[in-house]
Amino acid sequence: MVRVRFAPSPTGYLHIGGARTALFNWLFARHQGGTFILRIEDTDRTRSTDDYIEAIIEGMKWLDLDWDEGPFRQTDRFDIYRSYVERLVKEGKAYNCYCTPEELEQRRQEALAQGRPPKYDGRCRGLKEPVPGRSPAVRFRMPQEGQTVVNDMIKGSVTFENNQLDDLIIMRSDGTPTYNFVVVVDDVDMKITHVIRGDDHLNNTPKQLHIYKALGYEIPQFGHLPMILGSDKARLSKRHGATSVMAYKEMGYLPEALMNYLVRLGWSYGDQEIFTREELVKYFSFESVGKSSAVFNPEKLIWLNSQYIMNTAPEKLAGLVMPFLVQEKILSEGQTLDMQWLSKAIVTLRERAKTLVELAHSLRYYISEDVEYNEKAKAKFLNEKSLPYLVELKDALALIPDFSSQEIEKVFKAITEKHGVKLGNVAQPVRVAITGGTESPGIFEVLEIVGKEKTLKRLEKAIRNIGVPSGKEA
């Protein structure tokens, strides 16, 4: 049975690269009917924080990447790691090293100056007696000859020369274990069958293979995902835009859109661009994961987000947009709206919105009691030429018992036919009066959603403002 894990270090938020790794592991597990495990690799005590752990979990939940086991924390497992270290020392596969950090740094600098690899020189390898007054670190005894071959699910066969591998420290002198060692122990204990991670970990893999062999355990299948690059082909970083997953939530992206975008960073299925969650689970395989780095394209992501907004049920969008209406100060804290009415308003706007923030802003003229005019629009359309149409329309609309788009359209049609003018001659001044600008959905639908009371108030305001100098309102 397939067992995979996502094992982030809580030294920062869940970022785009980490989220893609989590997603690929999750998809593989779900496709194979396997198990997806969440493990927090928090052995770096100086940089790991509980706040980052909570942020990672929050990001996973927002993306709906549900895990089957965990979250496990490495700091809860130190006794397990120490028992494995003791076993390796007893079997002669690891040894105590009494070199101080200062001595190691001095030798490293000397090696660099002489053009040699700055690896540990092995002087404690054959040490029989402890060094008085010093607490030892524990090093793993690496082979010094031959080659190590990593058979990678994505990259194929990758060969490493063993004489380039260091006798890595597996436990520090203060008794804390190190990353490359605890990763193997955890994967062994959790019966991980496939290790899927970013290719920045590829150089760690030969070291870890030898630890598996020393412990006598079966080696899992490895798959190293190519890195995500920015548009300038450099490694993705903050300068390429927001890379925290939760930052995208705050900017009004839908989790389904971000998930869809992330999976397409390195995986393909024909020419299809947009996938349901069920389709991703059904189609995903590592045979379709590319070997080259993927380039992060913010424009493509925002396009994809707009497609998801356009195709999301208005009732669901209504619930999603409510926090942004408060955030953007369109609603006050605690203020409520009729959700059926809001859904109806969203139907008219969702095809124009790229994010939930944009959708919230576009709802402003529906929700607010009043509107502010765009000065150019006001000058062009709220003038003496449009005044008769506005007055006549206001009086006619006031008499409609059924304030529906169909009845509103009849009023507009009657006025345009009476005066022999095109619809735009009446509709544009009304649009500016009702929305403050010159762009909106169909004017009949807009008036119906704004409602009779607000419509008449805004028409009255526009009538009063005609003739008032630009920049002022009556």
Tell me which residues are annotated as active site.
238
Q: Which two tokens stand for residue 452?
A: 């009779």
Q: Please, are residues 463 and 448 in contact by the beta-carbon 8 Å criterion?
A: no
Q: Which two tokens stand for residue 397?
A: 């609309």
* 73: Cβ contacts below 8 Å, ≥ 6 apart: 39, 40, 42, 53
Q: Which two tokens stand for residue 179?
A: 């990353």
Identity of residue 156: G
Q: What is the DSSP string of 52-95?
A: HHHHHHHHHHHTT---SEEEEEGGG-HHHHHHHHHHHHHTTSEE
Q: Please, are residues 368 and 328 in contact by the beta-carbon 8 Å criterion?
A: no
Nearest 5°: CA angle at 214, between 209 and 217? Answer: 70
Cβ atoms within 10 Å, residue 441: 17
Pairing of strands 69-73, 35-40: parallel
Cβ atoms within 10 Å, residue 209: 18
Cα(175)–Cα(212) distance, integer angstroms:
21
Q: Please, are residues 431 and 437 in contact by the beta-carbon 8 Å criterion?
A: yes
* 114: Cβ contacts below 8 Å, ≥ 6 apart: none
Q: Please, are residues 139 and 170 in contact by the beta-carbon 8 Å criterion?
A: yes
Q: Which two tokens stand for residue 181?
A: 């060692």
Q: Which of 375, 376, 341, 364 has the alpha carbon at shortest distance from 435?
A: 364
Q: How many CA atoms lie within 13 A of 41 on its CB side?
A: 17
* 191: Cβ contacts below 8 Å, ≥ 6 apart: 3
* 236: Cβ contacts below 8 Å, ≥ 6 apart: 16, 17, 227, 228, 229, 230, 243, 296
Alpha-carbon distance values, 288 to 278, 291, 321, 403 (Å): 17, 10, 36, 55
Identity of residue 186: D
3-state secondary structure of 244: strand
